Amino acid sequence: MLEVNGLNKSFNGRQVNKDIGFKLEKGGIAVIIGPNASGKTTLLKSISGLIEPDSGVIIIDGETIYEKKPYMKKPRVNKPPYERNIGYVPSEPSLFPNLTLKGNIELPLKKRGWSRNDIERRVNELLEIFGLREYRDMYPGQLSNGLRQKASIARALSYNPSLLLLDEPLSPIDPVTRERLRNELFNLFNKLKVAVLLTTHLIEDILFFKERIIALVDGRIVYDGELSEHKILSSPYMLQALGFLVIPARIKKCNEGEALVAIDKVEKKIGYNTYASSCIDGRNSLIVVNPGYITLTPGKGDHYTLEASLLEEIDNLTSVKLVIDIWGRITTLTIPKNEWSKLNDFGGGKRILLYMSREHTYLIDQESG
């Protein structure tokens, strides 16, 4: 179905996709997981034709849609996105705010010159499948994130593409709805027999879509295949390779989203994501944190704080890269320069207070299995 070979792409001398190659069968669902700026979105955009790779081959349903050998000056084949017949849902809003749901979904069909009756039938069918019928005449601004995401996916599927690309489809959605939507989408994709490639940085997604995980680190595929829960548990290195901060700890007491943990005999209260964690009193566990959600100022969402020591401050032009030590684990944090200078005025010193997102902190039990 989808075949990608030797795909390379760099921006301003930095290689974001390095020799990417994988296959996806008809009706298969694959999840691309990787830390921030690992090249996930670039890969999806290269496949959909929104950006031009530097070299490589992309084949869909036996038809080459992009081909350029590294020595060629120009690609041999490079179909524009509107000729690739791919469904693509970007991570940012994409439903046109001036059109109703119906107006949005029928747009690509009108463009394709479908007859009025066919459009009507297809739109109703999709609204029915996605459970959006009652919102048919509403505008995107009147709907929740979850409904909007479903509508975007319905629109991307309206013209029956054989491949659906979803960029972080579940990230903007609140954790409760997320779990339900994930199940719903999974069943839909299986029913519609469409091949799906989706990106994520959520551990819940990895655990759920474990049958086919493509791990991207620094633009390179470091893992491709089934990723059982056991494999994740037994190997903190895998999670570390995916860019997560992994800290072994012993759980003292669990209390719905809050846990008292002991790290190197020091007790500390942390928050965690209850939807993808297993918190059992007295067990050895891994605290897994997505460093993309560690901030120096309280942002939106639920937080807990912890102190860390600042090892090094690397000055880039517009941002500052901080090397910090969280309980013996070294991680880096990139923040805009103006924000850093503002903070520096206050505390300074070697100790800094970090705001950790509860939603992006997981506890994984290590003693079971």
Partner 1 sequence: MRVFLLLLILLLVLDATIFATPIYMAIWQGILVPGHLLSDFYYSMLLSLYTSTTSSILILLITIPIGYYISRRITRRNLLLPVIMLPSSISPAAVGLLLLLFFTKTPLGLIIDNTLKIVNDPKGIIAAQLFLGIPVGVSYFTALFSSIPRSYEDAALTMGFTNIEYLYTILLPMSTRQVFTGFILVFTRVLGDFGASYIIGGGIWGKTVTLPIYLYLVSQLGGIGVLVITLSIYIVSILVLIAVVYQLESMEGHPQNA
User: Where along the sequence are the contacts to partner 1 (CB under 8 A)?
Assistant: 45, 48-50, 80-82, 84-94, 96-98, 107-108, 111-112, 138-142, 152, 155-156, 159, 165
- Closer to partner 1 by CB, 139 or 355: give it: 139
Report CA torsion sign: 80, 85, 86, 91: positive
Q: Which is nearer to partner 1, 82 or 347 (CB)?
A: 82
CA distance 116 to 137: 17
Q: Write down the least CB distance from residue 160 to partner 1, Å.
A: 12
Cα dist from 246 to 120, 226, 237, 243, 328, whole Å? 51, 21, 8, 9, 10
CB contact burial 2-34 (16+ within 10 A = b; e otherwise): bebeebbbeeeeeebbbebebebeeebbbbbbb
* Least separation in angstroms between CB 90 and partner 1: 4
Minimal distance in Å, beta carbon 324 to partner 1?
Answer: 32
Q: How far is the CB of 81 from partner 1 (least distance, A)?
A: 4
Q: Which is nearer to partner 1, 89 or 232 (CB)?
A: 89
Tell me whether residue 95 or residue 188 sits nearer to partner 1 (CB atom). 95
- Pick 85 or 295: Cβ nearer partner 1: 85
CB of 105 to partner 1, least distance (A): 10
Listed in sequence order, the residues at least 6 apart from 7 whose beta carbon sits closer than 8 Å to its beta carbon are: 17, 19, 20, 21, 43, 46, 53, 55, 56, 57, 58
In whole angstroms, give the CA distance from residue 342 to residue 334: 15
Closer residue to partner 1 (CB): 112 or 350: 112
Q: What is the smallest separation between the CB atom of 95 and partner 1, expressed in angstroms?
A: 8
